[in-house]
Structure 1
Amino acid sequence: MNALRSWAHLLFMAVTVMPWALAALGLSLLWPPRRLYRFCVAWAGLQVWAARWMLGIRNEVIGWENLPTDPHAPAILLAKHQSTWETFALPVLMPRPLAFVFKRELLYIPFFGWALGRLEMIHIDRAKRTQAFQRVVEQGRALLARGVWVIMFPEGTRVPRGAKGQYKTGGARLAVATGVPVIPIAITSGRCWPRRALVKRPGTVVFSIGRPIPSAGRDPDELMREVETWIEGEMRRLDPEAYRGQEHADDRQPASAG
């Protein structure tokens, strides 16, 4: 039954993304960026709604009080990345527009990537690391000044449930360069929507939002280690089954630039 429902949801995404993306391309010529963002997030919200009724996947958010309440307060979100799910759900859940930092190859995905390219996002060429980081700082600073929160996945790619990728310091370096606090987020999406898995499972995805961590005057490596420690510790608290047998394993890796 889960396989049938998963296929149905995949078909629903494919059928809806084409007209929505084409409409976004046309509307991008007429609408300001903030309005176009809301239009595209409405499609993501539709997928979250469909996943609830077709796949039985629900969201639970812990730590709302840790998000800035000042509408002009900037923030950089650094989140665990286990699944595609958080890329749909986070823009729907967050109270402010988000600008994802992602590899430019995603822009080549038919329809979805085309619409993504019309939004105020930060796409980078990973082969040109120095230029990529300069782009992140320049665009990130401008977006943060306009009330857009920048979001990055420090591990760089989706990791299996119960695993930990290498935390790269790009997000911490951006925070230190702009003086903006970082907000760590632990996400248990791998329980319901495993990476590279067609079949999804019903359940609740927990988004745990940590307290803002000041970045002014901090060393990026030290800052990222603090983010990593909180996220990985929170992941073990939220999803202990995934980490069973790892209680005494020291699997920490030093953060690296990226």
Structure 2
Amino acid sequence: MSYTVALFRSILFWIAFFVMSSISSIGGVIALPISHRGTIFFVRIWAQAHRIFCRFLLGQTIVVEGEMPDIPVLYVFKHESAFETVEQPMLFKHPAVFAKEELFSIPVWGQAARFYGLIPVDRDGGGKAMRAMLGAAKAALAAGRPLVLFAEGTRVPHGEAPQLRPGFAGMYRLLGIPVIPVAVNSGLAFPPRRWVKWPGTITYRIGETIPAGLPREEAEARVRVAINALNPPEALLESN
């Protein structure tokens, strides 16, 4: 596909996604004093619309290799673009996603996100912020919700495999729950920090469940290998 065609399709995508995001955010906020389920409904509609726009405006298809059970465990996703963040309500009924604190300051969207049950990550908040994050995570698990963490901390171009941020080890040790790693290659068709997106196949590959209680180094190494399973074979070697 030529760049001009990809640009045109991307413009249509962003217009449609912006309009749908506005409608869903407003709907989610209106539902705040009425029904928690109403907010969940609007968030899911937002994610469904995003998938439809990706499929029919950008020409992207989604493949899932393996099973992602909707159970209270810690999912660790590869983070190559915004694609997999928007996808979470499509993958799980009501996921508790760890999200950067600054996202909650976005007008309207931030209010809906907080009420929905996203977990703020304040990296500069010290022990108090960590305790609040841990409490929110435990409450989500008690409600039967899966936790979703992007352990690299930021979007990573496809083919790169940085070390995991320290937050993963803390959550893994303190929560004492199994981890399910998920590799994603969204950066090829949905490159980060670029307006133009491309047609192609975006794959989720679910790795082997990692039990609770492993030494930190072993748990981090196993997660890192699993979430980079769709990267070129040399990616891990180059980043060590």
Q: Does 1:235 align with 2:233?
A: no
Q: Does 1:152 align with 2:149?
A: yes
Which of 55, 60, 65 pairs up with 2:58? 55
- In 2, the alpha carbon distance for the partners of 1:134 and 1:248 equals 32
Alignment-derived partner of residue 91 in structure 1: 89
8 Å Cα contact 1:44-1:89 kept in structure 2: yes
Tell me, which stretches of 5 or more residues in structure 1 are unaligned? 253-258
Deviation at 1:143, TM superposition (A): 0.5
DSSP-derived class of the 2:202 partner: strand
Q: Does 1:2 align with 2:6?
A: yes
Deviation at 1:6, TM superposition (A): 0.4
8 Å Cα contact 1:56-1:202 kept in structure 2: yes
DSSP-derived class of the 2:20 partner: helix
Which of 100, 107, 110 pairs up with 1:110? 107
8 Å Cα contact 1:155-1:165 kept in structure 2: yes
Question: Alpha carbons of 1:121 and 1:29: their partners in 2 closer, same or farther (altered >3 Å)?
Answer: same
Give runs of aligned pairs for residues 238-253 of structure 1, distance below 5 A.
Answer: 240=232, 246=234, 249-252=237-240
Which of 72, 76, 81 pairs up with 1:74? 72
Q: Does 1:184 align with 2:172?
A: no
- In 2, the alpha carbon distance for the partners of 1:176 and 1:247 equals 27
DSSP-derived class of the 2:115 partner: coil
Deviation at 1:108, TM superposition (A): 2.1
* CA RMSD in angstroms, aligned pairs only: 1.9
8 Å Cα contact 1:192-1:201 kept in structure 2: yes
Letter in 2 for 1:227: V
Which of 30, 33, 36 pairs up with 2:34? 30
Alignment-derived partner of residue 255 in structure 1: none
What TM-score do the two structures reach when normalised by structure 2?
A: 0.91
How many corresponding residue pairs?
Answer: 236
- In 1, the alpha carbon distance for the partners of 2:142 and 2:38 equals 18
- In 2, the alpha carbon distance for the partners of 1:115 and 1:101 equals 15
What TM-score do the two structures reach when normalised by structure 1?
A: 0.85
Question: Alpha carbons of 1:151 and 1:59: their partners in 2 closer, same or farther (altered >3 Å)?
Answer: same
Question: Alpha carbons of 1:247 and 1:7: their partners in 2 closer, same or farther (altered >3 Å)?
Answer: closer
- In 2, the alpha carbon distance for the partners of 1:152 and 1:127 equals 18
8 Å Cα contact 2:29-2:39 kept in structure 1: no
Give 4+ residue runs of structure 1 displaced > 3 Å after superposition: 246-250
- In 1, the alpha carbon distance for the partners of 2:108 and 2:12 equals 19
Q: Does 1:41 align with 2:36?
A: no
Identical-pair percentage: 31
8 Å Cα contact 2:159-2:235 kept in structure 1: no
Deviation at 1:163, TM superposition (A): 1.1
Deviation at 1:35, TM superposition (A): 4.5
